[in-house]
Amino acid sequence: MSKKQRIFIVDDHTLLRAGLRALLMLDPDFEVVGEADNGHDAIRDIASLVPHLVLMDISMRGMSGIETILDIKRRNPDTRILVLTIHKADEYILASLRAGADGYMLKDATHEELRVAIRSILNGKTYLSPDIAGRVIHGYLGTGKADNVASPWDTLTHREREVLKLIAEGHPNKYISDYFCLSIKTVEKHRSNLMKKLDLHNASMLTSYAIEKGLVVQ
């Protein structure tokens, strides 16, 4: 790399952004040109700063990371995006890649893996954490089961899955409302849709289902 690679960080945790910035500053080839804690600010700032790479979480208040990736790629198709998240569930992985992400890795990765991922993506490659790569390959190989029949899980929207995760973590509607900048009525509608689509009738059943899908860890 002949010049500094401009990186933008998007995550709603202040300490994590600060930690990432500090790590990236140790590499003379990288320059952190900005950061944001939500999708709307990220889209605005990325349009003016035009970074080479965006480090992106996908669970944020308000606009989701998936929606943000779609918008960034629409406006700046040459900007590379590496998803950095806690989510291991297949839905998040595939939704991110379909939205246009150039890589997907977990937040428990080492500093060295992060450097490798960033360099790979900046060189035009796609990067997936080793365990994530295995899940994606398994998903593409499939199991030979009725591919054309949507499972209840497949009918959920991305926002419904995010609400499901917070329900499973024990958060009340008011917290979920504030977290996603939604009205209480909208959160209640999401909860109702989840129960209807999944044929589950209380928070305990939703929690068990979320654990089964890998959204939360016991």
Q: Measured between alpha carbons, how far is 168 from 70 in angstroms, rounded to an integer?
A: 27
User: pTM, whole model, 2 decimals?
Assistant: 0.69
Instruction: Assess contact for 81 and 35: CB atoms under 8 A.
Output: no
Instruction: Assess contact for 150 and 204: CB atoms under 8 A.
Output: no
Q: Is the model more confident about 51 or about 2?
A: 51
CATH numbers and ranges of domains, the chain: 5-141 (3.40.50.2300), 153-212 (1.10.10.10)
Residues 82-111 have pLDDT tens digits of 999 988 877 788 888 888 999 999 998 899
- pLDDT for 183 equals 92
* 22-26, 128-132, 142-146, range with the lowest pLDDT: 142-146
Q: Is 144 left (phi over 0), alpha (psi -120 to 50) or beta?
A: left
